[in-house]
């Protein structure tokens, strides 16, 4: 690879590719999951909640393999995508037609559907059977609501998901460049940008681990935060 390339939103150099190839050579017994997790830790690749971006790392490795830059170990188990995309199982619920005015169903109860709850199984069942597009799974951050009438019968579902962070056709049509969202969520919440990091991690005692440069933001709790920070 002569120059750099961008994969999964990360800028990769020849040194980065070499680091992955080195891990594969040094640890032939590692599986794909172990490799992606180690890569996230070495690059300090985490989401806003501090969790390693394991799935993004796996996608990055697969794309590098397709491009011929490396060869990944064989899968040790089948992909779970088939299980995620199967139709939701049937959950018993009231199916008799409701023929009355809305005021006769009030008060309506709106509840958040918690993960791994009975309501989640009912929600998936209702959406997959009654929505014209069907429903199999959700992607990214989302929140679900279930609406019941005064008798406890489900009368509505609402699913809100996050917008696509990147969509080439949409971005080109609007005229957005790659840096359009840099710090956007922090700016909206009144965070202040302090500057970039030096591309090192706290575990880099020997100055040998190269990580991506990141922007550092500060959330001021008082108006004269600059004076307080510079007082010493």
CA distance 69 to 21: 9
Q: Pick the range with the lowest mean pLDDT from 94-103, 107-116, 160-169.
A: 160-169
Structural domains of the chain, count: 3
How far from chain centre, in Å, is Cα 49? Answer: 10
Residue 232 banded pLDDT, cuts 50, 70, 90 = low
Reported as a pLDDT band with limits 50, 70 and 90, residue 199 is confident
| Residues 51 and 110 both lie in one domain | no
Are residues 142 and 106 part of one domain?
yes
CA torsion, ordered 46, 33, 135, 88, to nearest 10 deg: -130
Residues 68 and 25 in one domain: yes
Residue 146 above 90 pLDDT? yes
Residue 82 lies in a domain: no
Among candidate residues 145, 161, 177, the one where a domain is terminated = 161
Mean pLDDT of the chain: 80
In terms of pTM, does the model score above 0.75? Answer: no
- What mean pLDDT is predicted for residues 212-227? 74
Residue 227 class from Cβ within 10 Å (0-12 exposed, 13-18 middle, 19+ buried)?
Answer: exposed
Q: Is the pLDDT of residue 184 over 70?
A: no
- Would you place residue 7 in the very low, low, confident or very high pLDDT band (cuts 50, 70, 90)? confident
Last residue of one domain, picked from the residues 142, 161, 180: 161
In the predicted model, what is the mean pLDDT of residues 42-71? 87
pLDDT of residue 154: 93
For 25-56, the pLDDT digits (tens) are 999 889 888 999 999 999 998 887 788 888 88
Residue 161's pLDDT is what? 81
Lowest average pLDDT, out of 5-19, 64-78, 127-141, 215-229, goes to 215-229
State the Cα angle at 199 between 196 and 201, rounded to 5°: 115
Higher pLDDT, 185 or 123: 123
Same domain, 141 and 190: no
Instruction: State the residue range of the domain holding 213.
Output: 167-232
Lowest mean pLDDT among 23-37, 171-185, 194-208: 171-185
Residue 20 has pLDDT above 80, yes or no: yes
User: Which one, of 48, 57, 55, 54, lies nearest residue 215 by Cα?
Assistant: 48
Structural domain contains residue 43: yes
**Of the ranges 10-24, 147-161, 171-185, which one carries the lowest mean pLDDT score?**
171-185
Domain closes at, from 110, 128, 161: 161
Choose the most confident range, by mean pLDDT, from 21-25, 166-170, 171-175, 192-196.
21-25
The Cα 160–Cα 145 span in angstroms is 9
193 and 223 assigned to the same domain = yes
Radius of gyration of the chain (CA): 24
Q: What is the pLDDT of residue 189?
A: 59
């Amino acid at each position: 690879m002569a120059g750099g390339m961008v994969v999964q939103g990360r800028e990769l150099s020849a040194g980065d590719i070499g680091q992955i190839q080195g891990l594969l050579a040094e640890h032939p017994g590692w599986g794909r999951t172990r490799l992606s997790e180690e890569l996230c830790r070495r690059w300090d690749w985490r989401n806003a909640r501090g969790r390693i971006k394991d799935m993004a790392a796996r996608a990055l490795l697969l794309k590098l393999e397709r491009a011929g830059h490396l060869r990944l170990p064989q899968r040790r188990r089948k992909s779970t995508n088939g299980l995620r995309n199967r139709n939701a199982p049937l959950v018993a619920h009231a199916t008799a037609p409701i023929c009355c005015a809305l005021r006769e169903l009030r008060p309506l109860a709106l509840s958040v559907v918690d993960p791994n709850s009975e309501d989640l199984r009912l929600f998936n069942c209702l959406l997959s059977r009654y929505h014209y597009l069907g429903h199999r799974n959700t992607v990214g951050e989302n929140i679900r609501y279930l609406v019941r009438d005064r008798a406890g019968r489900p009368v509505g579902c609402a699913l809100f998901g996050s917008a696509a962070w990147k969509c080439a056709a949409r971005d080109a049509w609007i005229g957005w460049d790659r840096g359009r969202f840099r710090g956007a969520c922090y700016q909206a919440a009144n965070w202040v940008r302090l500057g970039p990091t030096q591309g090192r991690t706290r575990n880099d005692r020997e100055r040998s681990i190269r990580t991506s440069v990141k922007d550092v933001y500060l959330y001021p709790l008082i108006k004269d935060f600059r004076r307080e920070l510079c007082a010493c």
